[in-house]
């Protein structure tokens, strides 16, 4: 079994603050990683520096919306969720300083931060205010969903105009391997504002050869680690679409 924490080079003897950016499975990856770490007797906090859907009540041991108690000490093997506010179906961060103050308390082994929005698209380009990454971050994980390959940029990409500008594509073009690698390489692309180690998480892989080609084309990018996520499950998608 491949554990996500191993893919992200997490040393269980050290603490990490991990910020997740990009698109194509950030929330699901965070949830799975938090469960792995808590099963290893770790104290985990999940939060967002931007916005994300309301937390899954089945995953978290305790949820704080609004204020974070000053005397709160998490238990071993627990997952805590925190956000500034809840608006409709989403929770949002109003002030990054609130997250920084929690980090400085040093009561969690791992803090996992959803630091980017993507409107449920599998690939995105950041605008001038994105992503929102705390300076305490030790690893920035950039997520890309390879189910975007071959799909029209205008339909499949969050912020398609910016994506085209960064990758030298036209709005009517489709996402290809070259545009993905250009998005990763661009200083204004996937890893814009990145802090700490940079890890590209290629997710929702349809053809493993595509993932291998992307990894090979990025081998000369300084300090970048490239890891593979989950295979894209067409059977599951079709089942959900028919339900």
CATH number at 94 reads 3.40.50
| Cβ atoms 164, 158 nearer than 8 A | no
Q: Give the tens place of pLDDT for each residue, 151-184.
A: 999 999 999 999 999 999 999 999 999 999 999 9
Mean pLDDT computed over 74-95: 95
Q: Reply yes or no on whether the pLDDT at 243 is more than 90.
A: no
Does the residue 195 lie in any domain? yes
Structural tokens at position 90: 């989403």
Does the residue 238 lie in any domain? no
Question: Rounded distance, CA 46 to CA 18, Å?
Answer: 10
- Tell me the pLDDT of the chain averaged across its residues: 94
Check residue 240 and give its pLDDT: 43
Does the residue 235 lie in any domain? no
Check residue 1 and give its pLDDT: 65
Does the residue 240 lie in any domain? no
Give the domain extent around 154: 4-229
Does the residue 55 lie in any domain? yes
Query: Which of the residue ranges 77-81, 82-86, 95-99, 239-243 would you say has the lowest mean pLDDT?
Result: 239-243
For residues 119 and 156, the model is more confident at 156
Structural tokens at position 136: 């305490």
Mean pLDDT computed over 67-85: 96
Q: Give the tens place of pLDDT for each residue, 192-242.
A: 999 999 999 999 999 999 999 999 999 999 999 999 998 876 544 444 433
Does the residue 239 lie in any domain? no
What letters, b where the CB count within 10 A reaches 16 and e where it falls short, cover 155-187? ebbbbbebbbebbebeeebbbbeebbbbbbbbe
Instruction: Quote the pTM value.
Output: 0.94
Does the residue 236 lie in any domain? no
Does the residue 198 lie in any domain? yes
Domain count, the chain: 1
Q: Give the tens place of pLDDT for each residue, 4-38.
A: 999 999 999 999 999 999 999 999 999 999 999 99
Question: Rounded distance, CA 135 to CA 76, Å?
Answer: 26
Check residue 192 and give its pLDDT: 98
Tell the burial category of 91 from Cβ atoms under 10 Å away from its Cβ (0-12, 13-18, 19+): buried
């Amino acid at each position: 079994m491949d554990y996500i924490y191993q893919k992200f080079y997490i040393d269980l003897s050290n603490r990490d603050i991990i910020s997740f950016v990009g698109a194509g499975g950030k929330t699901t990856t965070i949830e799975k990683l938090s469960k792995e770490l808590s099963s290893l007797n770790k104290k985990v906090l999940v939060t967002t520096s931007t916005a994300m859907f309301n937390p899954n009540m089945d995953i978290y041991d305790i949820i704080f919306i609004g204020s974070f108690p000053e005397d709160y000490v998490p238990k071993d093997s627990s997952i805590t969720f925190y956000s500034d506010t809840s608006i409709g179906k989403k929770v949002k961060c109003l002030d990054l300083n609130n997250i920084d103050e929690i980090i400085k308390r040093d009561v969690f082994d791992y803090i996992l931060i959803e630091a980017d929005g993507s409107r449920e698209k599998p690939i995105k380009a950041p605008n001038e205010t994105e992503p929102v990454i705390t300076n305490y971050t030790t690893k920035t994980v950039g997520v890309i969903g390879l189910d975007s390959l071959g799909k029209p940029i205008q339909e499949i990409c969050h912020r398609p105009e910016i994506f085209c500008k960064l990758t030298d594509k036209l709005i009517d073009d489709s996402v290809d391997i070259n545009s993905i690698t250009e998005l990763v390489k661009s200083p204004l692309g996937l890893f814009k504002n990145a802090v700490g180690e940079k890890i590209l998480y290629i997710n929702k892989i349809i053809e493993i050869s595509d993932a291998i080609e992307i990894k090979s084309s990025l081998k000369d990018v300084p300090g970048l680690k490239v890891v593979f996520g989950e295979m894209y499950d067409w059977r599951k998608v079709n089942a959900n679409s028919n339900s």
